[in-house]
Structures are given as structure tokens and as C-alpha cells.
Amino acid sequence: MLKSIRWTLQMWHAAILALALAGFGIALYFGISRARYHEVDAELEGAAQVLAAKVHVPPAWRHEPERPWPPRGPHRPPGEFLERDAALPANLLQGFGETDEDAPYFVIWREGGEILKASRPDLAVPDPGSPSGSAGHPPAPQIRQRADLREAIVYLPIGARVVVGASVRRERAELHRLIWLLVGVGTAVLGVGLAGGWMLSLRAIRPIRSIGEAAAAISGSNLSRRIDLAETHSELGTLAQVLNATFDRLEDAFEQQVRFTADASHELRTPLAVIHSHVELALSRGRSAEEYRQTLETCLKASRRMRGLIDSLLLLAKADAGKLDLERQPFDLTAVVDECVSLVGPLAAEKHVTLDTEFQEVEITGDPQRVGQVVMNLLTNAIRYNIDGGRVHVKAYAEGADAVVSVSDSGVGIAAQDQPHIFERFYRVDKARSRAAGGSGLGLAICKSIVEAHGGTLTLDSQVGEGATFVARFPCVPVGVSDQHVDESLPAPAPLA
């Protein structure tokens, strides 16, 4: 559960929301609380100042504001008295209510500590004393809180002090209620936020789950299913499209593989049918020694054909798996091409095809036998598919960082619609020719696999009526040539069927 995106999202969402709400709530509370108390304090202080003004200060004191504070010594005032109407201002009484419990009160002390006047005689208000203020001046008015009572203290230059206090019980209760309100609302908002967030993440995750389900079903046995794009939107829609495209490619590759296997087994069936029919026929009645001999020869021929086919198939299978055992040695490419040209000399002569060559010294790293196989195949094709008295032009040269071998023939050429398929396995342009010549449609596919295993490319350039040119390009600096050991046990590859 901890790894789930939904839960992680939810956790973070909850944490941030809670933090925000808490911060907001606290700030709000303190703001309100301060404002409220300030109001109260201002009123109390105001009242204290009013009363302080009513304390009679001897005239001498009024004119000597630089008297030292606290007042001591021989300059102590003889005594102060209050004006008769010293009482708390009416508006203060209104503000704080007039019930005995909560009614505001005041106490005035003389410098010596005796109570000059108190609004109620039973008040137990502690005397703030006459603390030292800044040099020469009485301390500034103060506020103090005793339990539910808040008091403002004003100091007079003559050493007297006035305390006006009131119960802030109601204020405190209000603020308490505010706390609960804030907590309640905050929790509700948090709850709604979390619920909303949960539903949102559910809606977002659902398409992901449906993609996952579809993909799982697809990779099972049914390769033709696709993710239903209508269910998904925006970023997930793109993901679905990409996945569908991947599955398309997978299905194609799979179909190709199935087709290849089917084609291979069909190709093998024909020589097998030859052997089967000939042997059955030979055994169906008494035959002469000559007839038996001919039957055996035919069987041998078919058996060779099957062997060649199986070798080709095995090579292609290895190439597909990336396990083509190639040697990796530097060799003279031109020498190999030259040798192949000599080997096809008789075939060319038989078909009245002339071979001409254009060679440059060029060396590559790879497997000379396999490369020779490729060149032989290209040359024999060029001769077989040529016109009587035609030409085959063979070139080997270096071009940039590549070594190039090109084989051009003056044959009938290859039609545009066949060209993209010509390197496909079992593809035959004209079924007649290749069967009669003993081919199975794998020659060019094998050439391509070998060339590509050397890190090279094999391309075709042709137009109908103007012959065909096959160009094999090998990197002089080897790229991706298999590093595997040379398999000594394998026989030298037979010429391609």
C-alpha cells in the first residue's frame, strides 16, 4: 500500500491540506484573539487614564515635571485626594456589563501603598507597587492578567498608581468557541478535500488500470486485442496509442515468424514427397537393378536438397537469435571476391555470360567464408537471371569508411513491387525460375543476414528491363561483429541452394 501512487498522492495531499488549514486557523485565531484583547486593554487603559486625571496633584508638582522617580525623600507630597466624582466612566461599565461578577473595578493606591479609593471595598487586588521606570519618568502603563481578570495599570508621577480591571471571562469563552469552530471547520474542509482528492485519484487511476488489464490480456495468447482508446484521455491516451503501436509490431513479428515456420516445413515436404513416392513406387513391384539405382539416385538428390534447406534454415535461425558464429579476422575482401569470380567461371561460360571485374585492394574484418557465401550467391543469381550473352560487372572498392562489393547484371531486372520483398525469406519473384534452378527463396535472406551480422548493409537497385545491381557494404572498422569463438566443428558452408 505504501508504494501505491494513489496512497502517496493522498498522503501528500492530506499533509499539505492539513498544514495549510492549521496554519490558516492558527493565524486567524491569534489575529482575532489579539484584536479582541487590544480592544479590552484600550478600554481599561483609557478608564485608568481618566481616573488618574482625577487624582489631585499638588500644584508644585505640576510645575516640576523633572522630579525624580520614584518620588522619595523630603519632597514627598503631603497627600493627594481624589475629586469627588472619581468613578469609572459610564461607557466602560457598559462595555463590561454591570453584574457584580464581571463588573469592572478600580483601585487607586497612594505612593506609600495605602488605598486611596477602590470601587468596591472587598476587592483583593494586589498592589503593583512603584517599580522603577526609565530615569526620571514613571513607568508606562501596563496590562496584567490574573486568571479571568485583566487589569490596566497607570502610574502617576506622584507615585500613585491606578488599576482598572475587568473580567474577560466572556472573551475567553468566545475565543474558546472560536478555537472549536476553527477546528471543526478545518476538519470538515480537510475531510471534503481528502474525499475529493480520493475520488479524483480514483478517476485518474482507473484508465491506468484498464490499460494494464488490456495489456495483460494482449500479451497472453491473444495478440490481436488492443487498448480501447475511447476510455482514456490526454496523457494516458498517448500512452495507449504508443502501446497499441507496439502491439501491432509485436503481432506482425509474430505472424512473420509463424509464416516462416510454415513456409519452411512446406519447402521440406516436397523433397520428402519425392523420396516417399519413388520408394513406394520402387517397392510396388519387382524392379530391375537399374530402376532401383535410379530410384536411389533420385532419393539422394532429394536428401541433399533437404540438407541444404535445413542448413539454410539453421543459419537464419541463428542469425535471428543473434548467435551467428562468425569468425573475426582481418582479410582481403578483394581476394575473396576474386576467388568467387573464378569459381563461377564455368557456370557463366555455360550461360554465355561474360564476367568483368573492377577491383581495388580493400580489407575488412569478419568471416571470409561467410562473406564468400554471400558473394557466390550474388554472382550465381546474376548469372542465372541474366540474358543469353549478357554481362555481369563485379566491383570491390573502398568508399569512405566502408568496403563495397557490387554485382550488376544485365538481366531482366526486378519489378518495383517485388523490390521491397526480395530479401524476405522464401520470397520468389518468379516461382518457375527458382524452382527449376533448385532455389528455395532463402538465398538473398541469408545474404542479408550475413552482411548485417558484419554490421553492413545489402541493397538493391534495379529497374525492369535494365538489370539489377546488388551492393553489399561492409564497415572497415567492424561494428557489432560477433565476438564468439569460432565453431571448429561446423563444416564449411555449402554453396547456397
Partner 1 sequence: MRILVIEDEPDLLAALAQLLREAGYAVDVSSDGRNGLFKLKGDEYDAVVLDLMLPGMDGLALLRELRRTKTVPVLILTARDGLSDRVRGLDSGADDYLTKPFDRAELLARLRALIRRSAGKPEPTIRVGNVTIDTTGRTVIQAGQTVILTPREYALVEFLALHKGELVTRTMIYDHLFDEEDDSLSNLVDVHVSNVRKKLGKDFITTRRGQGYQIDA
Q: Which residues bind partner 1 (CB under 8 A)?
A: 262, 266-267, 269-270, 272-278, 280-281, 284-285, 298, 301-302, 430-433, 435-436
Q: What is the DSSP string of 148-172?
A: TEEEEEEE-TTS-EEEEEEE-HHHH
Q: Of 120 and 433, which CB lies nearer to partner 1 in the complex structure?
A: 433
Q: Of 144 and 269, which CB lies nearer to partner 1 in the complex structure?
A: 269
Q: How far is the CB of 300 from partner 1 (least distance, A)?
A: 11
Torsion over CA: 235, 237, 238, 243 (sign): positive
Question: b/e for 325-355, b at 16 or more Cβ within 10 A?
Answer: ebbeeebebbbbbbebbeebeeebeebebeb
Q: Which residues contact 433 (CB under 8 A, 6 or more apart)?
A: 384, 385, 439
Radius of gyration of the CA atoms of the chain, in A: 54
Cβ atoms of 386 and 354 within 8 Å: the answer is no
Q: Of 45 and 267, which CB lies nearer to partner 1 in the complex structure?
A: 267
Q: How far is the CB of 457 from partner 1 (least distance, A)?
A: 31
Q: Of 280 and 488, which CB lies nearer to partner 1 in the complex structure?
A: 280
Q: What is the DSSP string of 407-439?
A: EEE-S----TTTGGGTTSTT--SSHHHHHHTT-
Distances (CA, A) of 364 to 329, 331, 332, 335: 8, 6, 7, 11
Q: Of 10 and 270, which CB lies nearer to partner 1 in the complex structure?
A: 270
Q: How far is the CB of 280 from partner 1 (least distance, A)?
A: 5
Q: Of 15 and 273, which CB lies nearer to partner 1 in the complex structure?
A: 273
Cβ atoms of 110 and 116 within 8 Å: the answer is yes
Q: How far is the CB of 303 from partner 1 (least distance, A)?
A: 12
Q: How far is the CB of 240 from partner 1 (least distance, A)?
A: 32
Cβ atoms of 471 and 459 within 8 Å: the answer is yes
> Rounded to whole angstroms, how far apart are CA atoms 109 and 247?
96
Distances (CA, A) of 126 to 96, 107, 115, 343, 438: 21, 10, 11, 127, 124
Cβ atoms of 373 and 336 within 8 Å: the answer is no
> Rounded to whole angstroms, how far apart are CA atoms 427 and 425?
5
Q: Of 63 and 285, which CB lies nearer to partner 1 in the complex structure?
A: 285
Q: How far is the CB of 496 from partner 1 (least distance, A)?
A: 19
**The C-alpha cell that represents 397 in the structure block:** 572498392
Q: Of 99 and 224, which CB lies nearer to partner 1 in the complex structure?
A: 224
Torsion over CA: 327, 331, 332, 338 (sign): negative
Q: How far is the CB of 291 from partner 1 (least distance, A)?
A: 10
Q: How far is the CB of 218 from partner 1 (least distance, A)?
A: 24
Q: How far is the CB of 369 from partner 1 (least distance, A)?
A: 31
**The C-alpha cell that represents 38 in the structure block:** 487590544
Q: Of 62 and 421, which CB lies nearer to partner 1 in the complex structure?
A: 421
Q: Of 132 and 417, which CB lies nearer to partner 1 in the complex structure?
A: 417
Q: How far is the CB of 282 from partner 1 (least distance, A)?
A: 10
